[in-house]
Amino acid sequence: MVLEPGKITEEGIQRLRERIGTYNRPRQYGVGLFNEYASRDAIRHFCQGIGDPNPIYWDEEYARHTVYGTIIAPPAFLYSVYWCSGRTGGLPGVHGFHAGNDWEWFRPIHLGDRISVQEQFTGLDEKESQFAGHVLIQSSVCHYYNQRGEVIARCRGWQVRAERTAAREHRKYTFEPYRYTQDEVRAMEEAVLSEEARGRTPRWWEEVELEEDLNPVVKGPLSHGDIQAFVAGCIGGLSHGLQLREMKRHPSWGFRDPNTGAQEAIIRVHDVQEAAESAGLPGAYDYGCQRCCWMGHLLTNWMGDHGFLKKMYVELRRFNVVGDTTWCKGKVTGKRQEESEHLVDLEIWGENQRGEVTTKGTAVVRLPSRNTT
Segments making up each domain of the chain, as ranges: 10-182+185-366
In this structure, whether the domain defined by 10-182+185-366 belongs to CATH 3.10.129.10 is answered with yes
User: CA dihedral defined by 302, 305, 307, 311, rounded to 10 degrees?
Assistant: 70
pTM exceeding 0.75: yes
At 347, give phi and psi (nearest 5°): -100, 135
Q: Using CA atoms, how far apart are residues 215 and 255, in angstroms rounded to an integer?
A: 42
Cα distance between residue 4 and residue 14, in whole Å: 14
> Closest Cα partner for 354 from 118, 133, 176?
176
Q: At what angle do helices 288-303 and 40-50 cross, to 10 degrees?
A: 100
User: In tens digits, what is the pLDDT along the chain, a chain of 373 residues?
Assistant: 344 567 888 999 999 999 999 998 887 665 679 999 999 999 999 999 999 999 999 999 999 999 999 999 999 999 999 999 887 667 887 888 899 999 999 999 999 999 999 999 999 999 988 766 889 999 999 999 999 999 999 999 999 988 877 656 556 666 778 999 999 999 999 999 999 999 999 999 999 999 999 999 999 999 999 999 999 999 987 777 877 777 777 666 666 777 777 777 767 778 777 777 766 777 789 999 999 999 999 999 999 999 999 999 999 999 999 999 999 999 999 999 999 999 999 999 999 999 999 999 999 999 999 988 5
